[in-house]
Amino acid sequence: MSNRPTNLLLASLSAADLNLLGPHLKPVELQQHKVLFEASDSISAVYFPYDAVISLVVTLSTGEAIEAAMVGRDGVVGASAALDGRISLSRAIVQIGGHGVTCPVDVLKQAARQSETLHALLIRHEQVVYAQAQQTAACNVTHTIEERLARWLLRARDLSQSDTLPFTQEFLGEMLGVRRTSVSVVAHTLQQAGFLKYARGRIQIADLEGLRQSACECYDTVSKYYDRLLGNFPNR
Given the rule CB under 5 A, which residues bind Zn ion?
139, 143, 216, 218
- Closer CB to Zn ion, residue 52 or residue 183? 183
Q: Which helix (H) or strand (E) holds 2?
A: none
- Closer CB to Zn ion, residue 28 or residue 139? 139
Helix ranges (DSSP H) in the chain: 8-11, 15-21, 105-114, 116-142, 145-160, 169-176, 180-192, 208-214, 218-230
How many helices (H) and strands (E) in the chain?
Answer: 9, 10
Q: How far apart, in whole angstroms, are the C-alpha atoms of residue 46 and residue 108?
A: 8
Report in angstroms how near the CB of residue 151 gets to Zn ion at its nearest.
6
Report in angstroms how near the CB of residue 157 gets to Zn ion at its nearest.
16
Report in angstroms how near the CB of residue 76 gets to Zn ion at its nearest.
24
Yes or no: say if 84 and 12 are a contact pair by the CB < 8 Å rule.
Answer: no
- Closer CB to Zn ion, residue 110 or residue 140? 140
- Closer CB to Zn ion, residue 112 or residue 145? 145
- Closer CB to Zn ion, residue 88 or residue 214? 214
- Cα 220 to Cα 53, 118, 226, distances in angstroms: 18, 26, 10
Length, in residues, of the chain: 236
Helix ranges (DSSP H) in 74-179: 105-114, 116-142, 145-160, 169-176
Report in angstroms how near the CB of residue 2 gets to Zn ion at its nearest.
36
